[in-house]
């Protein structure tokens, strides 16, 4: 019985992920905050600067996976709250955990898929080389999953519109850009900046991607993977807890 129930939950999780892929990938908030926003920020940062490709492409990949993966949950969940679709899922009956995992998977696939575009551009047109495929894959996949869970966590905030979730989410995402080695290399930061950078999940995304594309790594691969794994676990646990609290209040 338990194995059948587990199999059913897995199928439902995947069905929810597929549904979100079909409905929300081309939504205006997903395109704006997941694709256009990181690309525009990258262009405004790189134009007019003599930045080597070895630094530019990892920054673009990290920004893309950061914004893309964390944008699906804050789009889908508020809209489904407004349309009462979220409540209908729970009365199916489908467990809250299954719903949230399905939406996390949708964000994970979105972030990982979009982030392959700048990697391909770097390889085909700009002479980038993959020197450590495992580091590159870990950076993209682990970060996509972690940032998707981050988006789900913020989607627990009360509100029935994506803007009501995106605003507080961006109050966290944008400051992380300035302490994560995006604009200033970590080695050039003061000691307090390096400490703040070590605590940022985006830092470890950039580190893994940069090392995978032949660049340097400041903190070390083991630290990068461990920190991203801890953030993934924290985002999942806190997000599930907050959603459970919301359901009880309703």
pTM (global) more than 0.95:
no
Return the pLDDT at 190: 84
Interatomic CA distance for residues 187 and 125, integer angstroms:
29
How far is C-alpha 40 from the geometric centre of its chain's CA atoms? 18
Nearest Cα residue to 17 out of 75, 101, 134: 101
Return the pLDDT at 49: 67
Residue numbers of the chain with a pLDDT score lower than 50: none
CA distances 25 to 79, 96, 147, 181, 247, Å, are: 13, 22, 16, 29, 26
Return the pLDDT at 163: 73
Span 34-70, pLDDT tens digits: 778 777 777 777 776 667 666 788 888 998 999 999 9
**Where exactly are the structural domains of the chain?**
2-249
User: Cβ(126)–Cβ(57) under 8 Å?
Assistant: yes
Span 202-233, pLDDT tens digits: 999 999 999 999 888 888 899 999 999 999 99
Return the pLDDT at 12: 85
User: Cβ(128)–Cβ(215) under 8 Å?
Assistant: no
Return the pLDDT at 24: 85
Interatomic CA distance for residues 183 and 203, integer angstroms:
11
């Amino acid at each position: 019985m338990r194995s059948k129930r587990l199999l059913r939950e897995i199928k439902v999780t995947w069905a929810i992920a597929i549904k979100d892929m079909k409905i929300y990938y081309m939504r205006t908030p997903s395109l704006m905050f997941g694709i256009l926003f990181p690309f525009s920020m990258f262009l405004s940062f790189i134009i007019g600067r003599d930045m080597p490709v070895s630094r530019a492409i990892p920054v673009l990949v990290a920004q893309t996976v950061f914004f893309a993966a964390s944008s699906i949950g804050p789009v889908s969940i508020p809209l489904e709250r407004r349309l009462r679709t979220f409540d209908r899922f729970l009365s199916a009956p489908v467990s809250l955990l299954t719903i949230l995992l399905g939406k996390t998977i949708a964000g994970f696939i979105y972030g990982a898929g979009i982030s392959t575009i700048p990697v391909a551009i770097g390889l085909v047109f700009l002479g980038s080389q993959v020197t450590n495929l495992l580091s590159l894959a870990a950076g993209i996949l682990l970060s996509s999953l972690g940032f998707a869970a981050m988006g789900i966590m913020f989607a627990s905030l009360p509100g029935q519109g994506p803007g009501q979730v995106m605003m507080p989410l961006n109050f966290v995402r944008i400051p992380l850009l300035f302490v994560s080695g995006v604009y200033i290399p970590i080695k050039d930061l003061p000691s307090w900046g390096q400490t703040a950078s070590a605590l940022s999940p985006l830092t470890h995304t950039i580190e893994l991607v940069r090392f995978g594309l032949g660049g340097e790594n400041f903190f070390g691969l083991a630290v990068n993977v461990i920190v991203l794994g801890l953030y993934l676990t924290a985002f999942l646990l806190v997000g599930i807890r907050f959603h459970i609290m919301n359901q009880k209040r309703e």
